[in-house]
Chains A and B, each alone.
Chain A
Amino acid sequence: MLFAGIDIGSSSAQAVLFNGERIVSWASMAARPIPEQSARLVLDAALKKCSASEEDIDFCISTGYGREKISFALDNVSEISCLVKGAFRLNPNTRTLIDIGAQDNKVIRVTADGRLQDFVMNDKCAAGSGRFLERIARTFGLSISELGPLALRADQPAPMQNSCPVYVAFDALSRMAEGWTKASIALSAAHILAKRLIAGSRKFNIEQALCLTGGVAKNEAVVKALEAFLGLPIQPLPVDSQIVGALGAAIFAQDQYDSAVGSRAEINYGMCR
């Protein structure tokens, strides 16, 4: 059995191939302008890694902002539900999930049996999202992955307030003119992002275990800031933080395949055990 989950985000695309028990292969790449194109490329990359072909896939589900545009996906599920599904599979103690993507931030509550309980997302504006960090990295001429290690070298954060991805470049340049280091600005950015996220999540208590997904989860300064401001540890993930949504989609693919095949599959499973 091979189930595919494809997550087309606004900045990156992920594919996970799941055999019902473990991740067989996965791939992640920068998103192309056309969701279908991203999906095709990232799925091919994942298939190539495990020497499988498209015919081997039993069921495929798409998620992410481009989820409705993937012709070869049999169904689509929102990224919120997919994150819950994926994170709960990786750690059944997960009760709160923070996902920081390029465009959207989400704080999601998970029930004890692994269902979506409630969620808050940022509104229209992408302030304090991955795009915000991207802009700072670009101002410094760095790649996004260099921003976290840079921030950890700072003694103190630069005095910055603005979480708007548009204005932050100007803010950063002004602070540098005042003599603040790039590291202190990168640290400040991590703090601004964490504070904004926590403010947005006040709707509900953040219960443990807490896990962090999305590209920004790779920024260690953000992880540390969130842990410090929340006073809670963030559980480490056994997989790349960016593929949790695609994993969830692949598990949904398995669920849908099972219910489509119906009772026959259940009997087969019973016999295997």
Chain B
Amino acid sequence: MNTQTEQTDIRPSALEELLTLPLRGENPYILDWKANGGKVFAYVCSYVPEEIIYAVKGVAKSRYLPVRLGAAGCNNTEDADIDLSRCLCSFARSTLQMGLDGAYSYLDGLVFSSSCEQMRRSFEFWRDKRHPDFLAMISVPRTTDTNAHFEWYLEEINNVRTKFGQKYGLLSSKAALNETIAIYNRFRELMLTIYALRLGDAPKLTGTQALKIAQAGFNMPKEIFNTKLEAAIEEIMQRPGITDYRARVLLAGSPVDDPALVEIIEGTGALVVTDALCTGRKFIEGMVDEGSDDPVRAIAKRYFSKETCPRMMDGTDSRVAYVKRLAKEANVDGVIFQYITFCDNHNIENIIESRALEKEGIPTLTLEREYQPKDVGRLRTRVQAFMERINK
């Protein structure tokens, strides 16, 4: 054990580790979790509260880890295309493909939501072809402005908890829920710090790096992630800021959980300094009330009152104001909207939001892309021309 100091020296720093965390079956934290008797559940959208999964304290060592379902690196969707036509979203097809390929063999189950029709329908193929040990669906209301809709959503969340209980004989205690809430609020606070470090004239990290950190956060127990992130933030603070960028941009639109797209954008000299993504800022903004007598209700409230997804029937004005606020806060030169081909909600929302922003003199660009952006040249041409437009 004399070599321990040496070993410590060659270990990657916390920041390095977060930036290079392997995904899925190679993720050491997921492997550890499984090796220790834990269970892993994937969820598909930010209307599935991670806390209700994380708070389940199982018998003996079986703890429950929520991870966000992603398919970064998915190269083809030929098997998924048999079930979901090529005229459907490539995120739904990519995740199903990886499911069919067995890339998520570590998963004990999945929690879907009805947020988007294409993901909702992919549920059926997961059920019939992969037979996960546990499968649940949260029906998310399409309006957020009435109490009745909130009660509906709360009931859906409680149904999933009950389903966990029926399957595994376990329910999360109030104490476990409150403990989880504290961990998750700390997670949000730290992630907001990452955003704050990108605001100044010399941002401390690129959009690609910020997204890699977020991606690590989706795939690690939050308790460990928080500790790593605290150390990483210390490291980031020591770094010189980035000044050799052409323009500051905000990224909005369809979910982005794969750094590839941001790398293409930043390859043209743009720096993504903030975002309005459900895998980014929208995922972490808004705290859950701590010390509540009814923690599940408190959790549901946070998820139901956060900035909405365009699949909601209301909230367009609020989402436009949200993007404007973030654009101003980060002092961006332009906003890049993107949507995955056939993502109706974000395609239409992009049009509405970009018109509103252009009217106020904020330049916008809208990109159509596949979940796994392969046509790099086509995207680069558009982003480069946008840079040339806003550079003046």
Give residues in A with beta carbon < 8 Å to B. Answer: 65, 68, 77-81, 104, 115-119, 121, 123-124
Q: In the docked arrangement, what's the CA distance between A65 and B378, Å?
A: 7
Contacts of A117 in B (CB 8 A): 389
B385, A116: Cβ atoms under 8 Å?
Answer: yes
Considering only residues 339-386 of chain B, those with a C-beta below 8 Å from chain A are: 341, 358, 363, 368-370, 375, 377-378, 380-382, 384-385
Complex Cα spacing A78 to B379, Å: 11
Instruction: Determine whether the beta carbon of A78 is less than 8 Å from that of B381.
Output: yes
Is B385 a contact of A78 with CB atoms below 8 Å?
yes
Sort A-B residue pairs by CB-CB distance and give the 4 closest, nearest first: A80-B385, A123-B368, A78-B385, A78-B384
Distance A121 CA – B377 CA, assembled complex (angstroms): 14
Docked-complex contact B381 and A65, CB < 8 angstroms: yes
Cα–Cα, bound, A260→B170 (Å): 71
Chain A residues lying within 8 Å of B381, measured Cβ to Cβ, are 65, 78-80, 104
Question: Which residues of chain B have C-beta atoms less than 8 A from A115's C-beta?
Answer: 392
A80 to B388, CA, bound (A): 9
Residues of the B chain whose Cβ atoms lie less than 8 Å from the Cβ of A77: 384, 388
Q: Is the interface of B mostly helix, strand, loop or mixed?
A: helix
Also in contact, A78 and B388, with CB within 8 A (given A121-B382, A123-B368, A124-B341): yes
Complex-state Cα separation, A65 to B381, whole angstroms: 7
Chain B residues close to A by CB (< 8 Å): 341, 358, 363, 368-370, 375, 377-378, 380-382, 384-385, 388-389, 392
C-alpha gap A52/B384 in the complex (Å): 32
Of B369, B381, B384, most buried by chain A (CB within 10 Å of CB) is: B381
| Chain B residues positioned under 8 Å from A121 (CB to CB) | 382
Minimum distance in angstroms from B334 CB to a CB of chain A: 11
Closest-by-CB residue of A relative to B389 is A116
Nearest B residue to A66 via CB reads B377
Can you name 7 A-B residue pairings with CB atoms under 8 Å? Answer: A68-B377, A78-B381, A81-B388, A104-B378, A115-B392, A121-B382, A124-B341
- Hey, which chain B residues are within 8 Å of A68, CB to CB? 377, 380
Chain A residues whose CB sits within 8 angstroms of the CB of B375 once the complex forms: 124
- 14 extra interface residue pairs, beta carbon distance < 8 Å, beyond A68-B377, A81-B388: A65-B378, A77-B384, A78-B388, A79-B385, A80-B381, A104-B381, A116-B385, A117-B389, A118-B363, A118-B389, A119-B389, A123-B341, A123-B368, A124-B369
Q: List the B side residues contacting A80 at CB < 8 Å.
A: 381, 385, 388-389
Q: Would B385 and A81 count as touching, CB distance under 8 A?
A: yes
In the complex formed, the residue of B with least CB distance to A108 is B385
Q: Chain A contacts of B388 at CB under 8 A?
A: 77-78, 80-81, 116
Q: Tell which of A77, A78, A115 has the most Cβ of chain B within 10 Å.
A: A78
- Give CA–CA (A79, B382) in the complex, Å: 10
* Cβ-defined contact, B378 with A124, below 8 A: yes
In the assembled complex, the CB of A88 is this many whole angstroms from the nearest CB of chain B, namely 14
Closest chain A residue to B392, Cβ basis: A115
> CA A117 – CA B368 in complex, angstroms?
21
Complex Cα distance, B378 from A172, in Å, reads: 29
A117: nearest chain-B partner, CB-CB: B389
Chain A: minimal CB distance from B342 (Å): 11
Task: List residues of chain B with CB within 8 A of the CB of A81.
Answer: 385, 388-389
B389 lies within 8 A of A124 (CB)? no
Q: Is the CB of B385 within 8 A of A119?
A: yes
Q: Which residue of A has the minimal Cβ distance to B267?
A: A68
Q: Report Cα–Cα, A65/B385, bound state, in Å.
A: 12
Chain A residue with Cβ nearest B381: A78
Tell me the smallest distance from the CB of B254 to a CB of chain A, in Å.
13
Task: Output the nearest chain A residue to B388 by Cβ-Cβ distance.
Answer: A81
Contact A124 B368 (CB under 8 A): yes
Distance between B380 CB and nearest chain A CB, rounded to angstroms: 8
Bound: A104/B379 CA distance, A? 12
- Taking CB as reference atom, which chain B residue is nearest A124? B368
Complex interface: chain A residues within 8 A of B368 (CB):
123-124
A116 and B358 CA atoms in complex are apart in Å by 15
User: Which residues of the partner chain A approach B380 to less than 8 Å between Cβ atoms?
Assistant: 68
B369 proximity list for chain A (CB < 8 A): 124
In the complex, chain B residues whose CB is within 8 Å of the CB of A116: 385, 388-389
Q: Are A65 and B389 in contact (CB under 8 A)?
A: no
* Contact B392–A65 (Cβ < 8 Å): no
Chain A residue nearest in CB terms to B368: A123
Instruction: List the A residue with the shortest CB-CB distance to B364.
Output: A118
Q: Closest residue of chain B to A116, judged by CB?
A: B389
A263 to chain B, nearest CB (A): 22
**C-alpha gap A79/B381 in the complex (Å):** 8
Q: Which residues of A contact B377 (CB under 8 A)?
A: 65, 68
Contacts of B378 in A (CB 8 A): 65, 104, 124
- What is the bound-complex CA distance between A112 and B252, given in angstroms? 31
In this complex, what residue of B is CB-closest to A204?
Answer: B358
Q: Measured between C-beta atoms, what is the minimum distance from B137 to chain A in Å?
A: 31
- Docked pose: A68 CA to B382 CA in angstroms: 14
CB distance from B76 to the nearest CB of A (A): 17
Expressed in whole angstroms, the Cα–Cα distance for A121 and B384 within the complex equals 13
Looking across the interface, which residue of chain A has its beta carbon closest to that of B351? A203
